[in-house]
Structure formats: structure tokens, C-alpha cells
Structure 1
Amino acid sequence: MSDASDPHLRETLLRSESLCEGSFLKARRDTVRMPDGATSTREYIVHPGAVVIIPLLDADHVLLERQFRYPVGRVMTEFPAGKLDPGEDSLRCAQRELQEETGYTAGQWAHAGDLHLAIAYSTEVIHIFFARDLRAGARHLDEDEFLDVRTMSDDAFFEACRTGGVTDAKTLSCALWLQNARRGDWPLDWRPA
């Protein structure tokens, strides 16, 4: 949906300032004009974008990862994912991340859609991909990356989502895609790698 039909909801940028320039994330504070003419501020994180991959091992099993996520202080179960490098194509990023983190390569790929992870305070867009016809190989983790790869049945995965074993937002969103794609309700446009 376009916001062209919603001009009465748009905010207009008046001034922008940098709060923090990290090597990965940037924080900004913008002053905006509200639809009623008043002004307000918006603080948000600028993110380079990312991908998440739903790797289909067979008709009812998926590949997941377990890794410690420092900001929440927990080991999380999630689908493979990673950030885009500057100028990197999202499919190329997905192929790279799947191979680096899990060792698997895929014979076919399908772009499912895009996910805005935290619209109130981040520019992050995550491109959702499905991968199938998987072939195992060697992982190439980053120096500071430690994770386990795990196979789960669809039923066990959906149950973990329901009972709190999976709480990662992108993975929960992907559960909806997986459920609908497996049923054939949301067809995918598969392409060779």
C-alpha cells in the first residue's frame, strides 16, 4: 500500500541530527512537522537492512540456529539471518549468510516479502527468503560468531513459537510465512540459485 492517499498522516522533516555514529548502527533525532502543523521529535536507529532465510530441509523440517544474543542476554532460536553489506543485493546476502552460518547452499530460492522489524524506532527492513534443495557443506563463521545449527520439524517449530521457545520477531513472522507456504495458501516464485 502506498502512502500517497494518506497525506493527512504524513510528517515532514524539518531538522536532523546525529546522536551516535557506530560502525554498524547510527542513531538520529529528527524534528518533524506534524499533520496539524505542530512540531515533534523522532529518535530512531538507522540500520543497513538485513535478510532472513527459511531453509526447507524437506517437506516438514526446517533448519534453525541457536546463538547468544547479547542485548537480551539469552540464547535464542532463530532462522539464519544477517545484515546487508553496503551495496549488496539481498539475494546474494541471503546466499552468503546461509552458507557462512550453516554450511548449506540451496539449489532454489524464493523471495517471500519484506519485514519492517521495529517501525517505531528503526529503519531496518528484513528481506525474507525461502531456500530449498539444500546441500550440506562447511560453515565459515565470522571470528566473533558462535552458533549451533539445529533441525526441527515444522510441528516442533510451531509449538516452540506458541509456547515461548521462539520469541525472535523475525522468526515468528517467518513462522506465518512457513505455515502458509507449506499449505499452499501463499505460493512462492522459486528461482534457481
Structure 2
Amino acid sequence: MDDDREPRWTTIGRSVAYEGRVRLVEHTVLLPDGSRTSFDVDESVPFSVAVLVVDGADVLLSRQYRYAIDRWIYDLPGGGGLADEDPLHAAQRELEEELGIVPDDLRHLHTFFMNPGRAAWPTHLFISTAGFAWTRPDASDPAEQVRLARMPLAELDALIAQGLVVDPPLMVARAIAAVKGHLPPLRRV
């Protein structure tokens, strides 16, 4: 719960520390005790989106190489939102670009912060359960090699239980979809 009576930090200055594909901003802040400090915040995108696509007893995932951890992983199709874009349209755009899927329905599932200790942007999760049409994915970014992975929900649950799924939005979406009744509870392995 957010309590306005709890002390907060006050921003007294900001400067861009680094800007490339990632944007880090150094904040100068006044702490509740009156002292000053600096704090780096990731302000790379206004928000990110990810979509859980359910097709009968299967889920449709992305399979991508992630350089930062030097592995291929399962994750949800998604990415950063644009400044002039709302999260729903960003989710539709990313789903079509990455997997070539145009959903018949796309509903907001949950919003969370991936790294609230250092990143300012929320991740908006969406779910599609009522069918879709296929189109051609956008393969124009050579650094983004996305493969479609169709997987039975039971297999996804087993991979999560074995610690083989490392993507936070995928794990959060699976759990929230179960809590909200869109998917059965996680299976015990």
C-alpha cells in the first residue's frame, strides 16, 4: 500500500549520464534526513509491453537469443513502447512484428515494474485467448531474431518449476493469468 505519510525523496536535479539504446539519468536527490545523494535511473523507454497468447491448451511464446546472459530463452513477445503510443497499441504492434500474430482480442492482464529499484518504467502485460490471424513478422532488425515457440501449458509449467524459464514477464503473466481464471493453476511438478 502506498502511504503518503511515509517519507519520500525529493528530486533537485537531473542529467543524462548515458544515452544509447539505454538511457540512464543521474538524479540528484534530497533524502528525508536532509542529506543529498545521486541515484541513477533507467529511463530507456516510457513503458514496456508483453503479450501472453493462449491457443487452446498451448501458449505461443517467443524464443530469442539474449546476449546479456548469453542464452536462448523463452519469453513473451513484446518490447518498448513509443512516447506517442498507448500500451494496447504497443502490444498489438510488438505481437505482429515479432510473431506475425494479429489477435482477435487483447486484454490488459497486469502492470508491474520489472526493476523498481533502478528502472522508472512499468511493464504492461496483455493476454489474448480468443483467436488470431497470421501475418508476416518484421525481420528488419538483425539483432532481434525471434522464433515462434508453440508449447503445451503443462510443458511451460514444468520449465518454470525446473528454473528453466528466466523471463520475469512470462512468469508473472503465467501466475496472474491463473489467479484471474484465464488459465488453470500452475501444475505441481
TM-score, length-scaled by structure 2: 0.88
Distance in 2 (alpha carbons) for counterparts of 1:154 and 1:115: 23
Query: What SS does the corresponding residue of 1:8 show, helix, strand or coil?
Result: coil
Asked whether the 8 Å contact 1:65–1:148 carries over to 2, the reply is yes
Question: Could you tell me how far 1:78 is from its partner in structure 2?
Answer: 0.4
Distance in 2 (alpha carbons) for counterparts of 1:183 and 1:89: 26
Q: Number of residue pairs matched?
A: 181
Distance in 1 (alpha carbons) for counterparts of 2:34 and 2:6: 11
Partner of 2:152: 153
Query: What SS does the corresponding residue of 2:172 show, helix, strand or coil?
Result: helix
Correspondence 1:37-56 to 2 at 5 A: 37-48=34-45, 49-56=47-54
Question: Could you tell me how far 1:184 is from its partner in structure 2?
Answer: 7.7
User: Does residue 139 of structure 1 match 2:137?
Assistant: yes
Relative to structure 1, the CA distance from residue 97 to residue 183 in structure 2 (aligned partners, 3 Å threshold; closer, same or farther) is closer
Question: Could you tell me how far 1:126 is from its partner in structure 2?
Answer: 1.0
Correspondence 1:6-21 to 2 at 5 A: 6-21=4-19
Deviations 1:85-112 (A, max 9, x none): 2211111111111111111111111111
Correspondence 1:24-35 to 2 at 5 A: 24-35=21-32
Deviations 1:4-51 (A, max 9, x none): x334331101222221122x3211221211122222221121121110
User: Does residue 124 of structure 1 match 2:156?
Assistant: no
Partner of 1:63: 60
Q: RMSD of the TM alignment (CA)?
A: 1.8
Distance in 1 (alpha carbons) for counterparts of 2:8 and 2:117: 14
Question: Could you tell me how far 1:52 is from its partner in structure 2?
Answer: 0.3
Query: What SS does the corresponding residue of 1:96 show, helix, strand or coil?
Result: helix
Relative to structure 1, the CA distance from residue 124 to residue 182 in structure 2 (aligned partners, 3 Å threshold; closer, same or farther) is same
Partner of 2:165: 166
Distance in 2 (alpha carbons) for counterparts of 1:38 and 1:148: 50
Deviations 1:102-131 (A, max 9, x none): 111111111112121101111121111011
Distance in 2 (alpha carbons) for counterparts of 1:73 and 1:123: 25
Asked whether the 8 Å contact 1:56–1:134 carries over to 2, the reply is no
User: Does residue 84 of structure 1 match 2:98?
Assistant: no
Distance in 2 (alpha carbons) for counterparts of 1:141 and 1:50: 20
Asked whether the 8 Å contact 1:166–1:172 carries over to 2, the reply is yes
User: Does residue 175 of structure 1 match 2:170?
Assistant: no
Asked whether the 8 Å contact 2:24–2:44 carries over to 1, the reply is no
